[in-house]
Chain A
Amino acid sequence: MAELTLRLITPDAIVLDTQVTSVQVPATDGLLGILPRHAPLVTALNVGPLTYEADGKRESVFVSSGFAEVRDNTVRVVSEAGEPPAEIDEERALDAEKRARRHLDEARVPGAPQIDVVRALGALRRAQWRLRIRSGKRL
């Protein structure tokens, strides 16, 4: 079966460097599937799961924004965060979710400062994705 190389690079480490048969990245306009011999591509990424299939198994890794570049049958994903399910801190994500919801509720009061709404929404999305990937359910 044709394969392509997937590399996931974060500021702290190279999280993944492996041969896979397909990759799905959370592009800004929705999930984007990449198969071997894909045309060269550069895309910006959202928060979400980076899913790949190798030896018939599907794995998902949490990525938090970043970029993906396809070139020479290699997918290079650069992201600030790259966390396999085992590395996701569930408690922290739950806390972050609660905190974000509280901030959103507080912002709903008329006259409350609105500056942090975007931030809270971002935090909420990150926390929810982390929890979903952690739970290991098929995404």
Chain B
Amino acid sequence: MASVKELRLRIKSVGSIKQITRAMEMVATTKLRRFQDRAIASRPYAEEISTLVGNLAAVLGEDLDDQPLFRPGKGERTALLLVSSDRGLCGPYNSNLFRELESALRRTDDTSKIDFFVYGRKGYQYLTGSGRKIERFFVDPQLEKIDYRGAARVAVVLREAFEAGTYSNVRVLFTAFESMARFVPTWIDFLPIEPSSLGGDGDATEAGGSLASGDVILEPDAATIFARLVPRYLETRIYNALIEALTSEYASRRMSMKNATEAAGDMQSELKKIYNRKRQEGITKDLLDIVGGAEALR
């Protein structure tokens, strides 16, 4: 059993760890709120773009098959964008992601046909550690500083890789934010675009109907607008995935820091109890010694 002095030191160190984790929890809470605000702020743009894409896709109808981004690529390989975090101490956030990745890889026949694109240092470390080939590691801008233009650049890299004909499809694995306590590793089939994944709510399809019937003026024409619109659509999807992954990361970090703070508190009171008992034992023993000594002198 530890001595009284050692106990005192341990109580102190547990206390300072608790202070640190509490500070980290608070930082995570503010950042989480910031990313949530940004996710909400970007929603109208994404909705408007995807409604337009859906409506114009309805106008183009059969011609959609001629759009290169809607057909599987010529290549045989698969490109995969993995969105992880730059830093640790965020609970099972990354390990859940990697577990999902591994189980998906086990289901594919030939994993050597997959090229990895990575955002986040943890994902990079994991993939190099397991000896996988990394095609591109995005570091600029840092994941946490991501803005729409940064996300757009990632989308351009992926789209150009697809258009170059090396890949048959492009997929994205990120962590979707479902609630403050639920983050689910999720796949998106990024390219080729599934026509069924387009189109918005009922209102949008109604508008799509009036578009298709030719009641809407299109400047310059449907195909041209569509060709300019689709890259924007892909950008919003990537931006959305990155922001959602960041939100999940911080929600996860906040939760694990909160647990750590609570655990440190529990440990502190537990140690305090032992410490007090020890201290009392010492005092009792000292008293007995004094009394015993005094008795002997009489």
Question: Is the beta-carbon distance between A40 and B229 smaller than 8 angstroms?
Answer: no
Check if B38 is an interface residue, CB within 8 A of chain A. Answer: yes
Contact-residue size bin, chain B (C-beta under 8 Å from the other chain): 20 to 34
Question: Is the beta-carbon distance between B44 and A14 smaller than 8 angstroms?
Answer: yes
- CB nearest to A39 among chain B residues: B217
Residues of A within 8 A of B218 (CB): 41-43
Total number of residue pairs linking A and B with CB closer than 8 Å? 79
Check if A55 is an interface residue, CB within 8 A of chain B. Answer: no
Check if A10 is an interface residue, CB within 8 A of chain B. Answer: yes
Check if B255 is an interface residue, CB within 8 A of chain A. Answer: no
Min CB gap B154→A, angstroms: 14
Question: Is the beta-carbon distance between A11 and B225 smaller than 8 angstroms?
Answer: no
CA distance A14 to B38 in the complex (A): 12
Instruction: Please provide the chain B residues from 23 to 46 with a CB less than 8 Å away from any CB of chain A in the complex.
Output: 38, 41-42, 44-46
Check if A90 is an interface residue, CB within 8 A of chain B. Answer: no
Residues of B within 8 A of A66 (CB): 232
B-contacting 9-mer, from A27-35, A96-104, A107-115, A117-125: A27-35
Check if B63 is an interface residue, CB within 8 A of chain A. Answer: no
- Please report whether the interface of chain A is mostly helix, strand, loop or mixed according to DSSP: strand
Instruction: Please provide the chain B residues from 206 to 256 with a CB less than 8 Å away from any CB of chain A in the complex.
Output: 207, 210-211, 215-220, 224-225, 228-229, 232, 236, 239
Q: Pick from B49, B147, B215: contact of A40, CB below 8 A.
A: B215
Question: Is the beta-carbon distance between B219 and A11 smaller than 8 angstroms?
Answer: no
CA distance A27 to B220 in the complex (A): 9
Question: Is the beta-carbon distance between B219 and A67 smaller than 8 angstroms?
Answer: no
Min CB gap A46→B, angstroms: 10
Q: 19 A-B pairs, CB-CB below 8 angstroms? A: A11-B41, A11-B148, A11-B236, A12-B38, A12-B41, A13-B41, A40-B210, A40-B211, A41-B219, A42-B55, A42-B217, A43-B219, A43-B225, A44-B228, A67-B52, A67-B232, A69-B52, A78-B48, A78-B52
User: What is B's interface to A at a CB cutoff of 8 Å?
Assistant: 38, 41-42, 44-46, 48-49, 52, 55-56, 147-149, 152, 207, 210-211, 215-220, 224-225, 228-229, 232, 236, 239
